[in-house]
Amino acid sequence: MADDEKFYPPALRRGDAQYGEGYTKALFERINRIDPEFSMIFQRTVHGGLYDRDVIDHKTRELCAIAALCVSGMFNQLRSHFTAAASYGASDKEIFEVVIQMFTYAGAPAVIEGIKAYESWIDQGRSMAGFGSPG
């Protein structure tokens, strides 16, 4: 399968803007190895679809993602969205505030886990982590 059949260019473009160059291509390559058809659905729906809408600005979208991930307990996904929020101009203080605001909706255990993810992200130089990261 040729690269132009494996990757949806708008999804790669949006992913590079959010997470840094190469992250989403690595993510899509991993999914392509398992199920190329699902990979294209994912690319077109998420990165090249919903993430590419401009009804709300991308910083707000990423802050919403952080809140949703914290409330739903998807803490492993937080670091990539901390990075994306920062790439769209969110300050460290704004990102942290979203995490602690989730105390009202998800309680102390979720917020403590969110804070741990935030601390790790800060301590490791705001480095990316996620399904598109190597290893």
Exposed e or buried b per residue across 34-66, where buried means at least 16 C-beta atoms within 10 angstroms of its C-beta: eeeeebbebbeeebbbebeeeeeebbebbbebb
pLDDT tens-place string over residues 46-104: 999 998 899 999 999 999 999 999 999 999 999 999 999 999 999 999 999 999 999 99
Residue 2 has pLDDT above 70, yes or no: no
Q: Regarding predicted confidence, which is higher, 128 or 60?
A: 60
Confidence label for 5 from pLDDT (cuts 50, 70 and 90): confident
Residue 135 has pLDDT above 90, yes or no: no
pLDDT for 130 equals 61
User: 26 and 133 in contact (C-beta within 8 Å)?
Assistant: yes
Residue 23 has pLDDT above 70, yes or no: yes
Region at 20 (left for phi over 0; alpha for psi -120 to 50; beta for the rest): left
Q: What is the mean pLDDT of residues 10-24?
A: 91
pLDDT for 37 equals 96
pLDDT for 133 equals 63
pTM: 0.85
Tell me the C-alpha distance between 80 and 84, whole Å. 6
